[in-house]
Amino acid sequence: MFFDKQKVKHMIETLVKKAQQSTYEEAAAIIQAGGLVAFPTETVYGLGANALDKNAVESIFIAKGRPQDNPLIVHIYDKSQINSIAREVSQQAQALIDAFMPGAITIVLKKSDTIPYCVTAGLDSVGIRMPDKAEAREFLKYCGVPVAAPSANISTKISPTSADFVYRDMKGRIPLIIDGGSCEVGIESTVVDMTADKPVILRPGAITLDMIKDVLDSIESFKGKDVSKLPSPGMKYRHYAPQCETVIADTLDSALSYYDKAVKDGKNPVILCKTQNIALLENRNSINLGCNGTEVCKNIYQSLREGEEGFDLIICENLGQEGVYASVMNRIIKAAGGNFV
């Protein structure tokens, strides 16, 4: 009988279990034994391993197909853990911690020796995040160790905001997914680098520049273009990429004309837009992103997934740069490979 040994070795049964005490116990046992568990957070689902176990951390990169030079975030359930993970916490960093942790923020600090370099991809800094979602905190508490976790998607794909989305990417690769329902925030945490003289937002998120400005003396968004000098290696990789062509329409008119031309060319397009604009599309295919920043943020990844599954062209409305829309647009621009029509 012919079979691919390599494949057989890697195919494992993936269970999806409701977030409850027995599941946390099982999950913690897997983490402590060096295995991987996907878990819900308020931003997106994470793919967790014991951050202090090099082999376990390496298996995250394998399961995701993630480039080795892209560092992982370390997740905690209690602020007291920060002292053993970071070498120093400046006054400004402490102000951020006090204002936004637990929550949708990752704070990059100088790392201590306890965190292996495979977590930080060789960097002397470490991203620390304390999720706010109760199921995440429970899971992390049961684990009792800092948990390294990227988003639980295959590298380059859209981050998962439900257990079902995790299952589709991670089936056969990991033993357990904790199902904690859908993620309330919907896009990944704001990453703030506090290791340099001036704090910098490396990745925008639901905690916006303006919110951070209220807390820090100075903060700026990363604007560099030279990818070889990027402070956050993740910035140079293709991300959030739907399986089908994806474009951003600068105006509603350009969305409609691009849509109508695509139909003439035999395509099956869909327009992603805010509730307020749905009626203007008449009977064209549409996905409703919601009527405000919070809703659009929560719905964007699921909508991109619906788009790639049901259609062969996604046309997304330009949402502008006001507040959290700037963070959502950051993801959409990457999903569209910067393609505006």
Residues forming the site for ligand TXA (CB under 6 A): 41, 43-44, 46, 70-73, 106, 108, 120, 123, 125-127, 129, 149-151, 188-189, 191, 193, 202-203, 231-234
Q: Which is nearer to ligand TXA, 85 or 271 (CB)?
A: 85
Say what angle helices 163-170 and 293-310 make with each other, to 10 degrees: 40
146 binds, among ligand TXA, Mg ion, none (CB under 5 to 8 A by kind): none
Q: Which is nearer to ligand TXA, 132 or 317 (CB)?
A: 132
Kindly state the smallest distance separating residue 189's Cβ from Mg ion, in Å.
10
Q: Which is nearer to ligand TXA, 199 or 234 (CB)?
A: 234
161 binds Mg ion (CB under 5 A): no
Among the candidate windows 2-10, 84-92, 148-156, 210-218, which touches Mg ion by CB under 5 A? Answer: 148-156
Tokens of 303: 């909508």
Q: Which is nearer to ligand TXA, 129 or 173 (CB)?
A: 129
Tokens of 212: 């951070």
Quick one: which of 23, 50, 151, 286 contacts Mg ion (CB under 5 A)? 151
129 binds, among ligand TXA, Mg ion, none (CB under 5 to 8 A by kind): ligand TXA
Beta-bridged to residue 11, according to DSSP, are: none
186 binds, among ligand TXA, Mg ion, none (CB under 5 to 8 A by kind): none
Q: Which is nearer to ligand TXA, 123 or 244 (CB)?
A: 123
Phi–psi pair at 76, nearest 5 degrees:
-130, 165
SS (H, E, C) 265-319: CCCCEEEEECHHHHHHHCCCCEEECCCCHHHHHHHHHHHHHHHHHHCCEEEEECC
SS (H, E, C) 179-200: ECCCCCCCCCCEEEECCCCCCE
Burial 105-139 (b: 16+ CB within 10 A, else e): bbbbbbbeeebeebbbbebebbbbbbbbbebbbbb
| Contacts with Mg ion, residue ranges (CB under 5 A) | 151
